[in-house]
A = this chain, B = another copy of it.
Amino acid sequence: AAKMSSPTETERCIESLIAVFQRYAGKDGNSSKLSKTEFLTFMNRELAAFTKNQKDPGVLDRMMKKLDLNADGQLDFQEFLNLIGGLAIACHESFLKSAHSQKIL
């Protein structure tokens, strides 16, 4: 049998994404989808730094609508990953901009 080694950073990250989705999706109703309430709980607990910075109170409503590609009022795992990806891209771009302005890159 193969020896189990400790997971890599990427493997830990994939496991975390699944665990976080299941933790919040499991709170009410369909445990394989995030309801609107579960999405709001997720945003306020896991991404509070982002959520608190939004001055427009409608921003989370609009995010939910935009992410909910099949418009069933819930987010499945693929739709949830699009959220994480969008935030990661925004963070990555702001890092690149600040690195450029500091002439790191």
Contacts and interface: CB of A to CB of B under 8 A. Distances in A.
Interface string A8-49: 111111111111110000000001100000000010011111
- Assign chain A's interface to a size class: 35 or more
A78 B89 contact: yes
Tell me if A's interface is mostly helix, strand, loop or mixed: helix
Q: How many copies does the complex hold?
A: 2
A67 interface: no
Interface string A87-105: 1110110011000000001
Nearest to A77: B92
Identify the 4 closest CB pairs spanning chains A and B, nearest first. A10-B46, A81-B85, A8-B46, A13-B16
15 contacts: A9-B16, A9-B19, A10-B46, A11-B47, A11-B49, A13-B20, A14-B88, A18-B88, A18-B92, A32-B96, A77-B92, A78-B89, A81-B88, A82-B85, A85-B85
